[in-house]
Structure 1
Amino acid sequence: MSTPQTLQEETRQAGISAPLSEHIALLGDMLGEALREQAGPDVFDLVIELRRLCRDAEPDRIASAFAEVAHRIRPLDLETITWLLRGYTALFHLINKAEQQEIIRINRERALHSNPDAPRPESIAEAIHTLKQQGASLDDVLALLRRLDIQPTLTAHPTEARRRSILFKQQRIAALLHTLRYGKPTPEEAERILAETRNQIRLLLATDEVRPERLHVEDEVEHGLYFVRHTIWHTIPRIYRDVQQALAQYYEAHVDFPVFLRYRSWIGSDRDGNPNVTPAVTRHTLLVQRRTALELYLTALRDLRRELSVSDQQVPVPDALRASIEADAAAISLDPIRLRQYQHEPFRLKLSYLIARLERLRARLDAPAASSPAEAYTSTDFIADLRLIRQCLDACGLGEVAHSGPLSDLLVQAQTFGFHMMALDVRQHSRVHEEVVTTLLRLAGVTDDYAALPEAERQRVLSAELANPRPLVPRGTDLPDPARSVMDTLTVIREAVAHEPLSIGSYIISMTHEVSDLLEVMLLAKEAGIWRMDGDTVHCPIDFVPLFETIEDLGEADAFMERLFTHPIYRRHLAARGQFQEMMLGYSDSNKDGGYWMANWALHQAQDRLGRVCRRHGIDFRLFHGRGGTVGRGGGRANQAILSMPSACQSGRIRFTEQGEVISFRYALSDIARRHVEQIVNAMIRATSRPYDGDEAVPVAEGAPEHALMDRIADRSMAAYRRLIEDPRFWPWYTKATPIEHISRLPIASRPVSRKTGGEVDFESLRAIPWVFAWTQTRYNVPGWFGIGEALQALIDGEPGTLDQLRAMYRSWHFFRAVVNNAQREMARARLPIASRYARLADANGHASPIHDLIAADFERARNALLRITEQEHLLDINPVIQKSITLRNPYTDVLNLLQMELLHRYRQASEQERPSLRRALFLSINGIAAAMQSTG
């Protein structure tokens, strides 16, 4: 893509580090070579020229530079435009991987320069070292670790625009770069690595960016499991080794502690608005996950069998191992050859029996009726067998072998993943449950129109039916949809937990508004045989989780939980669940509902109040954060978000979603995955160690001046945001100025972009992901900042002393600083001169838009206010690494935007026969801008 005088100099001029600059220049040159080979020298020259026009323009000449590039693009044929898109998109794929290698390099450098007194920042060692410095004893640390419960949750949210074919090639190129830098290759080996890298780039450029059809749910399941197999499976033991090493370093202790890190998944079980997630799909997902777990264990067991070549002729074998082998032999027949082969190697023989047991389980996956409970071998049995092997190695004098290495890793994996791999959550909209309950109660003759009842009457009817042991309808009744689908899903849940109790985690109710929303699901679970009440005792193997998503519901969440906790039947349900309650907070819909600042403040207050109400009622609780990848959907650094949470909600437990492109970024490379997870564990240790005494350590207490100021900012910013989206001119403008029409057709997920099943999509029905996706494509980034300009300027200019107060809050309050810094990052990534050109697409004559003027005016107000609060000269002066990356990326991204706008214009003028090829090019442009911005929705 470049010569040494262009891209390498450009990266260095932008202040990029020398190692990263070298990687980008190397990859850019290889891409340029591939582009010349495949598209020809004219296309290559045009790529360089268009980039140069955008790069070299002075700030006051940027608009004319964009006009010149647009003029140069206008006469190009579609094939040439497509090659330009492919070239720029491939470049960003390569830059993104080079930047990840830079993150790995920096962490390695920090590790090399760390020592026990100065451990690597944000590592597990740093967290344990901090506890030691604060005077915590070993017992204190172990008690804290036992409180931890961290559950990242993979979802299939449609925000990963790249095909798996592209991801694989990116990962291969990243591995080659890693080997080139750290593998100390000989000259001949280095040349082979470079040659393979060139070939991978050639293949990257020759691979379709756009899928030929929309993903199926089964594809999404396989996509999620790919990351489990290739990184998460191997990352988990590394995290526990880090904890063990830190305890040994700072406490000279070698002790066991329970696992505190488990993964969950929504992929294949999230039914909210996705008709493609059927009961059969969920059953298939459970089966595929179980098969994946068994195959991973079988691979690990075979590797371990090769390792544990301990002979009874060299060391005494404990009686416990011999007794266990005799019990195995009574239940399972091994090949006589294997028995003779391992007659003096009891550990290998024991492992052979374990392999045989798991092979039998795998063989029966497709014929579950063939297995009987008496023959069942559970994950608990498997863990017990692994512990027995460890104890016997200890008894043989091989303690180090027992407690470090592959056996120790396998034991951690078994405790983490069981035979189910990841517990599935089922999610469905409260409106669907209401419809199903209405149907069942009508068929049962209880009430003709449950949906029309007031809340108090609903609760009375539901409570009576929950206490009544009879079913509402006879088993096997032919129900209409959606009742049939919901009840079939609950049947899948009942069968799954009977087979593997941990295979299903929670049932989540979207758009929870009233107590009846949870009681409805409990009644449906009772009807399916999952929930039952014997006298005053409830039996139920799963949790029911309210999801608070709107600003109003977040504001009322604690009052809702107060009513729920005092409901007599629900209180008995809590007793069945060990006095434990999970509550989920929706970051996406709250932002779409109330704008950036209000959503953040409402979520922060909800966390504080939910923590307090749970503590008042003696309820053990876990907050589940439904965060997306972009700032507008709750994105940002997960560890900083944890440290920003109020102490009232720091229970030691946490869940958070890992969505779409976030999964690919965080889990594609093992070193990045390990860094991400260790930062979360570090933050959870630090946050959980803070004592909670009922008084908040940061200024959120109602009545405090800071609290009142935050309320005023939130109210003003939401008012500004609502004026924008409720302006009658807004929605027609949005649909014409952004590529939302094409985003909705992008074949990147199984889920529709709207909850509407038919008719035209409107603001209310459009999901939050495509809403944010379109703003990101046009470089406005509205969900990440809009509304704060009007609010902050009015308060700073209108209330003396407010600026000093805001500066003090920025310096001392972690949450406030995170909100401000996330907003300034989104604003730094925005590009209003480009956005203004999108705005003209909404006008038939290409004139400027009043809606754009509203957005641009608030952008200037927000920029000025944030610079005054943070006392910076430019946005992101506090983070020069990201600032420099944006500077490097902007000229290339600008060209992608200008190409997309030309395609949008052509598409709207085209005939029906011309549109399919233009739409495919538009899909490619969307992928390219997503790669450039490193985010979608």
Structure 2
Amino acid sequence: MTRSNPLAGEIGRLWRLLVDVLAEQAGADIRRLVERTRRRAVRARAGDPAARRALERELDGLDDERAEVVIRAFLLHFRLANLAEERHRVRVLEARGRQAQPGATDDTLAGVIRTLRAEGRFPDDPAAAAAAVRGLRLHPVLTAHPTEARRRTALQALGRVGRILDARDDPRLAPAAARALDDKLREEVTILWRTAEVRPTVPLPLDEVRTALVFFDSTLYSLVPSIQRSLEAAIGKAPVATGPDEEPLPPILRWGSWIGADRDGHPGVTAEVTEQAARIQADHVLHGHEAVALRLMQTVAVTVPQGDLDRLLVARLLDDAETLPELDATLRRRFPDEPYRRRFGAMAERLRRTRIHLTGATGPTAGRYERADEVVGELAEIQRSLAGAGLERVAAGTVQDFRWQVETFGFHHAELEVRQHAEVHRAAVHALAAGADPSSPEEIAPGVSLAEILETFRAIDRVRTRFGPDAAGRVVVSFTDGLADVLDVLDLAGAAIGEERAAELDVVPLFESAASLADAGKVLGSILADARYRAHLRGRGDRQEVMLGYSDSNKESGFVAANWLLWRAQAALAEVADREGIELTLFHGRGGTVGRGGGRLDRAILGQPPGTIRGRLKVTEQGEVVAARYGHPQIALRHLELLAGAVIAADARRRAAVPASDQALLGRLATASSVAYRALVYDDPGFAGFFARITPIDVLTELRLGSRPASREVRGAEDAPRAGEDAPAIDVERLRAIPWGFAWAQARIELPGWYGLGAAVEALGATERARLARLYEIWPFLTAVIDHAELALARSDLGVARRYARLAAAAGDAARWGAIEAEHERSVRAVLEITGRSRLLERSPAIARQIVLRNPDVDTLSELQVGRLARLRALPSDAPGRDDLERLVRLTVSGVAAGLQVTG
């Protein structure tokens, strides 16, 4: 690894290892083919036409077997390069921590607090600072991603590679130990090479639950005390209490999950699946709690005379002896004068028995805990006992860490949030009103019966009863457009579990279409004006959550218009909530790509309307975003610190209302952009066929990446064409936003992240464009919008996309492609004019460099994809070899996704 560029050195080292493995596994000829392909791709990207022709000729002439080897080689190269980049990010973070004083980097949590204090916007006194952040809440919600392109097997294998590389970095390694690690690394890369990339079957919802829990086991559980300690250090709170009444900060993290609970358009997610998901989560979190309790049993080896023990601890030890006599005898023999070790040992056994009970495993359950707050209470007692014995530092250390973990995760890990389409609920209510048999399996909507809908509410109730009230209870209603949609939930829940239990549920309206976002404030006002619903809300503490969808609004209206609709909806919702005296939490349904609300989340937070944060951020974390943000503990901590800092700063710097004239300017920009976008996507009857021809959408809908269907059956969507059927037109309106964005990314166009911006800016006068440039400098919302469009434009590559455009040869397709090229040029010009820069990503050199370095390797996979896609579509559906060819195209999809680090 080179000292001047450790990232390039590590990527080079991993590439050399990979081609060595290739030579071992596939032969020296294959190694030469892969290396020759890469050299030609680099020269072709540098502008060498001869290299371009040679590359295209060789790739086009490869038989399927050799093409597969090339595809898999570059795919694995990207997997390893992505791991190297993750490790480099960690090195950078560690270097900053070593070189700077605490808080010296402005965007760290400590740096944000320091800056706010300098501005007079945050209290200097640690006690006042602690009070200021006591209500801070970050609420990530994990969702299954239909385009997450990595198998759990591959995730775990890459984790092993990362750990070997970490160990290999140790400068103290003896030569023999270094050689042993190198051999192990070669072994793991060999295993990765022989691991199938494309799943043999479509994953089931519970497979996705288990995949998400890979991150809980490796990162999320230990992350809780890390972010708490970071916040304490940032505000200057002493780690040890300075007074008897000083309480530790409450946990700022709360986790939610839709995985195994989101049934909108997914009939495979049933009541039984949701309950099984809860059991799987409980198994993981209780294993985690048990392991910590056992570790504390080993480490809190404090000797205290029996006569000096406080009354509560003595009572707990006596109860342990009575309830767990055999264990108590063992613990007394091992730790006769170490009461805290005996106490933690008993807690570990109680947690084990709790896990056995909650998961239905075989084993003893007597002495188990009934509720997680019992564990929290016992930990608080131990802390007071330790403090009373002069061991305040021990009480405030790892014992407090454990308390935060139990408070955060309970016995459930993440709250399972049930989502269902409003039309399904409406059909169920109508069926009940018509006297339908509640137990009938007959479908009332595609794939859904009345019996299943009612059973879903019973499952929610059973999960709450078994795992605790925080384990479930939110019902998210997709495509909410009025009061009836929330009342339907109360009616169905009442019919299933009774009105008293139904009153404990929270109904979360989801506004995602352009029309519903435009009317969001009005609709919320009508909901809150209803006497029945308002009485329900009073029972829930006058707290209302509203979800905003970033994906469908973008697909419907285009990037700029969707962002403006969302901004205005947030402002309107906050105004209604203030007027009605309710506590509003906005739940942001963001995805990974720019077109679905992706990008720098901390910057997007700062761009939200004044008064819409109020210390609370709830946001979805999807698919490949989960891996990128939570795959490594230090990167995960950095991500959460950025979010916490942005939330604190957004509240501390509550800006004045945006002037009406500036809002009007953005309104004109949004309208013009939407007109341009819809003229291409919806007003042209031939566009759907063009989209199906120019992108690999037909293959994406059959790729076994996620359990969820690509289209909403409940809304009458028809299946996308089967790959190899000449890609007939699909129903763009019914297609889910995720495969829509994935398809454009695969074709290297990234259209959802920028289309319409250029036409809208060009339609403005010179004075308005100048005003837009000034607003970009001072209005965080506009800054985030333009910066995200810049990123999407930089990631697009119309040179490669022209190869895909050749697949679209129907009447009018040339004009459609011409419109995309022209708008791309206008949009680049608009971004540069607004930002005052001379080239895209001028202020983000690291991202620009990453794109430049990756492009040649992605080009190889794109070339293989477009060539094989053309062949596939030319084959009859029953042609020999069609399945093998389709499998190759699927492999290129995974490879391009890994190279671009973007799916849907």
Provide, for residues 417-451 of structure 1, a one-character-per-residue CA deviation record: whole Å limited to 9, x for no partner: 0111111100000000010000001118xxxxxxx
Aligned partners of 2:5, 2:94: CA distance in 1, in Å? Answer: 16
- Alignment partner of 1:663 is 2:626: yes
| 1:766 partner SS | coil
Do the aligned partners of residues 392 and 518 (structure 1) sit closer, same or farther apart at CA in structure 2, a change above 3 Å counting?
Answer: same
- Alignment partner of 1:20 is 2:13: no
Q: Which amino acid aligns with 1:77?
A: D
2:77 matched residue in structure 1: 91
2:63 matched residue in structure 1: 77
Assess if the C-alpha contact under 8 Å between 1:494 and 1:530 holds in 2.
no
**Paired residues, number:** 876
Deviation at 1:104, TM superposition (A): 0.9
Do the aligned partners of residues 331 and 744 (structure 1) sit closer, same or farther apart at CA in structure 2, a change above 3 Å counting?
Answer: same
Assess if the C-alpha contact under 8 Å between 1:587 and 1:633 holds in 2.
yes
State which of 527, 534, 543 in structure 2 corresponds to 1:580. 543
Aligned partners of 1:83, 1:109: CA distance in 2, in Å? Answer: 38
Where does structure 2 lack aligned partners over 5 or more consecutive residues? 721-730
- Alignment partner of 1:284 is 2:276: yes
Do the aligned partners of residues 213 and 183 (structure 1) sit closer, same or farther apart at CA in structure 2, a change above 3 Å counting?
Answer: farther
Deviation at 1:216, TM superposition (A): 0.7
Assess if the C-alpha contact under 8 Å between 2:493 and 2:502 holds in 1.
no
Assess if the C-alpha contact under 8 Å between 1:151 and 1:656 holds in 2.
yes
- Alignment partner of 1:676 is 2:621: no
State which of 111, 119, 125 in structure 1 corresponds to 2:110. 125
- Alignment partner of 1:830 is 2:796: yes
Do the aligned partners of residues 665 and 339 (structure 1) sit closer, same or farther apart at CA in structure 2, a change above 3 Å counting?
Answer: same
Deviation at 1:357, TM superposition (A): 2.0
Matches within 5 A, 1:166-181: 166-181=154-169
Deviation at 1:186, TM superposition (A): 3.4
Deviation at 1:283, TM superposition (A): 0.9
Do the aligned partners of residues 375 and 908 (structure 1) sit closer, same or farther apart at CA in structure 2, a change above 3 Å counting?
Answer: closer
Output the TM-score relative to the length of structure 1: 0.89
Matches within 5 A, 1:176-191: 176-181=164-169, 184-191=172-179
| 1:377 partner SS | coil
Matches within 5 A, 1:460-479: none
- Alignment partner of 1:527 is 2:502: no
Matches within 5 A, 1:113-512: 113-116=99-102, 118-133=103-118, 134=120, 136=123, 137-181=125-169, 184-248=172-236, 255=246, 256-313=248-305, 316-335=308-327, 336-367=329-360, 377-405=370-398, 407-443=399-435, 481=444, 482-499=449-466, 500-512=468-480
Q: Which amino acid aligns with 1:178?
A: D
Assess if the C-alpha contact under 8 Å between 1:24 and 1:95 holds in 2.
yes
- Alignment partner of 1:890 is 2:855: yes
Assess if the C-alpha contact under 8 Å between 2:291 and 2:348 holds in 1.
no
Deviation at 1:369, TM superposition (A): 13
Aligned partners of 1:334, 1:786: CA distance in 2, in Å? Answer: 70
Do the aligned partners of residues 720 and 411 (structure 1) sit closer, same or farther apart at CA in structure 2, a change above 3 Å counting?
Answer: same
Assess if the C-alpha contact under 8 Å between 1:315 and 1:396 holds in 2.
no
Runs in 1 of length 4+ with deviation above 6 angstroms?
58-62, 249-253, 368-375, 475-479
- The more displaced of 889-898 and 604-613 is 604-613
- Alignment partner of 1:812 is 2:805: no
Matches within 5 A, 1:868-907: 868-907=833-872
Provide, for residues 152-194 of structure 1, a one-character-per-residue CA deviation record: whole Å limited to 9, x for no partner: 0001121310112222222222223333335643333333333
Deviation at 1:879, TM superposition (A): 0.5
Aligned partners of 2:867, 2:875: CA distance in 1, in Å? Answer: 12
Aligned partners of 1:345, 1:476: CA distance in 2, in Å? Answer: 58
Provide, for residues 547-598 of structure 1, a one-character-per-residue CA deviation record: whole Å limited to 9, x for no partner: 0001111110011111111111111111011010000000010110101111
2:727 matched residue in structure 1: none
Do the aligned partners of residues 99 and 476 (structure 1) sit closer, same or farther apart at CA in structure 2, a change above 3 Å counting?
Answer: closer
Assess if the C-alpha contact under 8 Å between 2:586 and 2:617 holds in 1.
yes
Do the aligned partners of residues 248 and 716 (structure 1) sit closer, same or farther apart at CA in structure 2, a change above 3 Å counting?
Answer: closer
Matches within 5 A, 1:513-912: 513-529=481-497, 531-532=499-500, 540-691=503-654, 695-696=656-657, 699=658, 701=659, 703-704=660-661, 706-726=662-682, 727-756=684-713, 759-761=718-720, 762-795=731-764, 799-843=765-809, 849-910=814-875, 912=878
Name the % identity: 36
Aligned partners of 2:361, 2:530: CA distance in 1, in Å? Answer: 40
Assess if the C-alpha contact under 8 Å between 2:517 and 2:566 holds in 1.
yes
| 1:213 partner SS | coil
Provide, for residues 658-709 of structure 1, a one-character-per-residue CA deviation record: whole Å limited to 9, x for no partner: 10111111112111111111111121222222347xx42xx3x4x22x2111
Output the TM-score relative to the length of structure 2: 0.93
Deviation at 1:61, TM superposition (A): 6.2
| 2:142 partner SS | strand
Provide, for residues 225-273 of structure 1, a one-character-per-residue CA deviation record: whole Å limited to 9, x for no partner: 1111110001111111112233447999755121121111111100001
Q: Which amino acid aligns with 2:346?
A: Y
Deviation at 1:546, TM superposition (A): 0.4
Do the aligned partners of residues 880 and 333 (structure 1) sit closer, same or farther apart at CA in structure 2, a change above 3 Å counting?
Answer: same
| 1:849 partner SS | helix
Q: Which amino acid aligns with 1:899?
A: L
Do the aligned partners of residues 375 and 806 (structure 1) sit closer, same or farther apart at CA in structure 2, a change above 3 Å counting?
Answer: closer
| 1:365 partner SS | helix
Deviation at 1:43, TM superposition (A): 2.7
1:39 matched residue in structure 2: 26
Deviation at 1:918, TM superposition (A): 1.0
Q: Which amino acid aligns with 2:424?
A: V
2:723 matched residue in structure 1: none
Do the aligned partners of residues 542 and 766 (structure 1) sit closer, same or farther apart at CA in structure 2, a change above 3 Å counting?
Answer: same
- The more displaced of 911-920 and 719-728 is 911-920
Do the aligned partners of residues 122 and 179 (structure 1) sit closer, same or farther apart at CA in structure 2, a change above 3 Å counting?
Answer: farther
Aligned partners of 1:250, 1:68: CA distance in 2, in Å? Answer: 65
- The more displaced of 676-685 and 64-73 is 64-73
Deviation at 1:930, TM superposition (A): 0.1
Q: CA RMSD in A?
A: 2.5
| 2:689 partner SS | helix
| 1:622 partner SS | strand
Aligned partners of 1:733, 1:66: CA distance in 2, in Å? Answer: 27
2:93 matched residue in structure 1: 107
Assess if the C-alpha contact under 8 Å between 2:157 and 2:188 holds in 1.
yes
Assess if the C-alpha contact under 8 Å between 1:781 and 1:826 holds in 2.
yes
| 2:763 partner SS | helix
